[in-house]
Amino acid sequence: MSLPQIVDSHCHLDFPQLADEIDSVIERARAAGVTRMVTICTKLRSLPQVQTIAESYEGVYFAAGTHPMSVVSEPMVTVEQLVALAAHPKMVGIGESGLDYHYTADSMQAQQDSLRRHIEAARQTGLPLIIHARDADDDMARILTEEYRAGVYTCVMHCFSSSAALAQAALELGFYLSMSGIAAFPKSGALREIFAAAPLDRILVETDAPYLAPPPYRGKRNEPAYTVHTAQMGADLFGLDLATFAAATSANFDRLFWKAA
């Protein structure tokens, strides 16, 4: 019997926890039915390594941007830079960008400026914007909505673990919510309710590896193979078998990340 095919829509294969044994990591992912992965570049100076990984493996794609927590320590990205990078056949998304006021609220304005540049690049290229949001729900909803009214773009709220209000704002704009291992944590009941109330055709799954491993691996290094555990929790939440849920979320991925379809 063939395994359900699943997509890990967000991981960091260039991070040392995974890069040091990349062949085995990808082999285990494929053995678990995770046939496609998007590895995310969080600082443009890391792009050569990220791009090389994507070019070296079938089914591995990449996205590029500046993570909000790195906005101050890295050169401010330009729209032109991101648009030029998007010409690469395996670059399938813009980001991750966003707002993080948890540790880096002092760079709030710079984060917002960077976010708007990433949004404009997503608008110009037609590639989906990949959003990281933490402790910034009001500004996040406001900027995403303002910018959408100024010109449409597509977007995924990566590793969604924010409020029901931000989920609703994103869904109303036609955006997607991505389910990570956090949604499978025992104390994440309120988050599971947010996902359960969302339309199935707006859900993606991801690991955010090497972080946030789902049970039964919680507290250990995460890797793309473990996407299946989050997907099983998602299937249970929607009252579906794993194969049906995997097919639905893969179709959603294809619709949003059209270059990887």
| 45 vs 26: CA distance, rounded Å | 23
Q: Which helix (H) or strand (E) holds 194?
A: helix 189-197
Q: The tokens of 149 are what? A: 């009214």
Nearest CA among 44, 37, 47 for reference residue 70:
44
Q: How many CA within 13 A on the CB side of residue 108?
A: 11
Domain assignment of residue 1, yes or no: no
Confidence band, pLDDT 50/70/90 cuts, at residue 2 = confident
Q: Which domain holds residue 162?
A: 6-260
Residue 96 assigned ligand-binding role: yes
What CA–CA distance (Å, rounded) separates 18 from 22?
6
Give how many domains the chain has, as a whole number.
1
Work out the average pLDDT over 127-138: 98
Nearest to 36 by CA among 204, 177, 155, 181: 204
Which pLDDT score is estimated for 1?
63
- The CATH number that applies at residue 69 is 3.20.20.140
Tens digit of each residue's pLDDT (9 = 90 or more) over 179-220: 999 999 999 999 999 999 999 999 999 999 999 999 999 999
pTM of the model: 0.97
- Give domain status of residue 24, yes or no: yes
Give 27-65 pLDDT, tens digit per residue: 999 999 999 999 999 999 999 999 999 999 999 999 999
Assigned domain for 117 exists: yes
Angle, CA 117 vertex, CA 140 and CA 207 arms, to 5°: 60
CB 77 within 8 A of CB 110: no
Amino acid at 17: Q
Q: Is 132 annotated as a binding residue?
A: yes
* Residue 10 assigned as binding residue: yes
